[in-house]
Amino acid sequence: MPTWEGVSELARAYLDDARRAAPGLGARPDPDALHDFRVALRRLRGLLRAYRAPLGPRISKRLRRRLSTVANSTGAGRDADVMLNWIANQMKGLSRSERVGARWLAERIKARRDGDPEARRLPSRFERLDRRLRKRLAAEARTTGAPVGPSFAGTTARLVTDAAVSLTAALREIRKPEDTEAAHDARLAGKRLRYLLEPVADAAAGAPALIERLRGLQELLGEFDECQVMLDEISEAVETLGASRAREAHDLQVEGKPRPRLKRGREDSGLLALARRARARRDDLFFALQPQWLGEHATEVIPLVREGVATLTTRRTTPYVLAPRIRRYRSRRSAPARM
């Protein structure tokens, strides 16, 4: 199968996944629908980015930018859902006074999520994007002549090898729990490798087992990243509270009223308790990663990929294989991540 034909098949499959999830979006999206929609667009973006060099400008920069804009607009809502879920799970272990701050933080996150104007526009924006992308895919299919260049299997084999090397390099940069940017990069690199492998897993030796291992890495790094998002959210909330109290004191001074005594607010203890828990969980996740993926273990994925690539390029491979595997993945999908 020519490379472009395989990419087109996958692109339409991912658009179909996103279209099925789109009715659940809007100002108050269904969390499962939002998750499915994000995954579908993430796969589509990764596909078009990975195969851009071997294919050339089949999809215009303008369409790619629109796809990125639509996909990025789902991030805030998803982060909010994950943080709210995590805060709710922490409530039992908090004291009565600490729950005041936890509830205040949850209300702050919820208000921002529900007031996000991007969420309301998302269904209509995706509808226009979907229509234009499908039109472009169909037009390209009509103009494509006889197969030239490497096959879909050959192109994918090369891309998978490059992705494995990138993942190894990213994992080597994680040396301590505070290396959150490196962990984020490794998470993205692991996703890229898994998304390249999944459509052709039935034709690549050892790929299903490697995909499961990569999914485990994604879960660990995903929760690691979510802990840092939570810590950043708490830090921003503390700054907001401090600024609000300083403004209140300033206004009282301007009005000639006595300067208030500075004291800790009712929310502070809860925010500090949540920060301690998020940091402790992040550190635990780092030590769980160490014996599996970090240090000398970072290179273990490369020989596994080479084994799969060797069989991928010698078998008769068509990317469907693809749709059944995607449907199986979706049926196994877990509930929204929790920290």
Q: Which residue has the tokens 């226009």?
A: 128
Q: Which of 7, 6, 40 is nearest to 21 (CA)?
A: 40
The SS3 call for residue 137 is helix
C-alpha distances (whole Å) from 197 to each of 49, 158, 335 are 15, 11, 23
Q: Which of 269, 257, 216, 219 is nearest to 96 (CA)?
A: 269
Strand, coil or helix: 337:
coil
Region of poorest pLDDT, from 45-49, 252-256, 267-271: 252-256
| C-beta of residue 339 within 8 angstroms of C-beta of residue 223 | yes
- Which amino acid, one-letter code, is at 94? L
Amino acid at 180: T
Query: How many angstroms separate the CA atoms of 151 and 318, rounded?
Result: 10
Question: Is 203 in contact with 312 (CB distance < 8 Å)?
Answer: yes
pTM, two decimal places: 0.81
Q: With contact defined as beta carbons under 8 Å apart, do 200 and 226 qualify?
A: no
pLDDT single digits (tens) 84-104? 999 999 998 899 989 999 999
Name the CA radius of gyration of the chain, rounded.
23
For the chain, domains (ranges, CATH) are 3-332 (1.40.20.10)
- What would you measure as the largest C-alpha separation in the chain, in angstroms? 84
Which of 133, 129, 109 lies closest to 25, judged by CA?
A: 129
Confidence of residue 316 (pLDDT cuts 50, 70, 90): low
User: Which 3 state secondary structure label does DSSP give 174?
Assistant: coil
pLDDT tens track for 233-258: 999 998 888 766 666 655 656 666 66
pLDDT bracket for residue 167 (50, 70, 90)? very high
pLDDT of residue 294: 92
Euclidean distance between CA atoms 115 and 27, whole angstroms = 8
Task: Give me the sign of the Cα torsion angle 24, 25, 30, 32.
Answer: positive
| Residue 314: predicted pLDDT | 65
Q: What pLDDT score does 252 carry? A: 58
- SS3 for 88-123 is HHHHHHCCHHHHHHHHHHHHHHHHHHHCCHHHHHHH
Instruction: Quote the CA–CA distance of 9 and 25 in Å, as a whole number.
Output: 25
pLDDT digits (tens, 9 = 90+) for 55-89: 777 788 888 999 998 888 888 888 888 999 999 99
